[in-house]
Amino acid sequence: MRSRSFIPNLLSDERKLPAKEKWNKRYANFNLTERLNVTPFLGRWLPKLPQRGLALDIAAGGGRNSYALARRGLTVNAVDISCQGLHLLKRRTSPGWDIQPIALNLERGWLPKAQYQVIVNFFFLERAIWPILKSRLAPGGWLIIETFTVDQLQTKMARQKYIRRDFLLEKGELLEAFKFLKILYYDEGEHQKGFTAQLVGRAMNNE
Ligand SMILES: C[S@@+](CC[C@H](N)C(=O)[O-])C[C@H]1O[C@@H](n2cnc3c(N)ncnc32)[C@H](O)[C@@H]1O
């Protein structure tokens, strides 16, 4: 059937593109009202977060989590490799929200040199930035992460679509990597988007 063969071809073509082109192409098709709602896990923790200070949204994409943090009162550095995504994010920013889009390839293992009260990282895995996250968190700063684990490989989505194993967390990997934080919440399992690990931690005040 025509529709069946069309989808795998599209995905396999997209797979050959470098990350920047692939995501630029995707965001070019987004409309102004698409994916505006905060991710449910961040939404749950939002009321506990500070209402002032600096936040970092890692791989911010179309900005759904940046908007939630800005609405809460935080100044947000939204970093992403896709200029198209950041352009969309900027166009959808409401007056009064303080969001600075920053185009950056996170594979290079670099993050803006600032101290953040909140860092969020949703549905993007780049281990190269993990060693510097500690130095970017202000004392008492919050780190909130959710991304897919290897259990996602067993799902229908993984069978339909090519998923790179190195873009998935191994079991217990996130908790081990951030054990220097005070862990407030950790869970691995099936959540709204699939099999993910969710972590909330805070930098110790003397770190
Ligand atoms: C699945 S989306 C998640 C977007 C956002 N965190 C969210 O949950 O809505 C992955 C994001 O990672 C970005 N990305 C992919 N490779 C990247 C890289 N090397 N450096 C920075 N951003 C990258 C993409 O442009 C895309 O916006």
Domain ranges of the chain: 2-202
pLDDT in tens, 107-148: 999 999 999 999 999 999 999 999 999 999 999 999 999 999
Query: What is the signed CA dihedral for 131, 137, 142, 145, rounded to 10 degrees?
Result: -30
Of 162, 157, 140, 141, give the one whose Cα is nearest residue 196.
157
| Ligand 1 pocket: which of 34, 80, 192 to mutate (most atoms within 8 A of CB) | 80
Closest residue to atom 16 of ligand 1, CA basis = 19
Q: Whose CA is nearest to atom 26 of ligand 1?
A: 61
User: What's the pLDDT score for residue 6?
Assistant: 36
In this predicted model, what pLDDT tens digit does every residue of 42-52 receive, in sequence order? 999 999 999 99
Domain 2-202 in CATH 3.40.190.10: no
pLDDT of residue 158: 79
Question: 50: which 2 tokens?
Answer: 């500070």
The pair of three-digit structure tokens given for residue 184, joined into one six-digit string: 């407030």
Per-residue pLDDT of the chain (207 residues), as tens digits, is 333 333 333 444 566 689 999 999 999 999 999 999 999 999 999 999 999 999 999 999 999 999 999 999 999 999 999 999 999 999 999 999 999 999 999 999 999 999 999 999 999 999 999 999 999 999 999 999 999 999 999 988 777 777 889 999 999 999 999 999 999 999 999 999 899 999 999 998 754
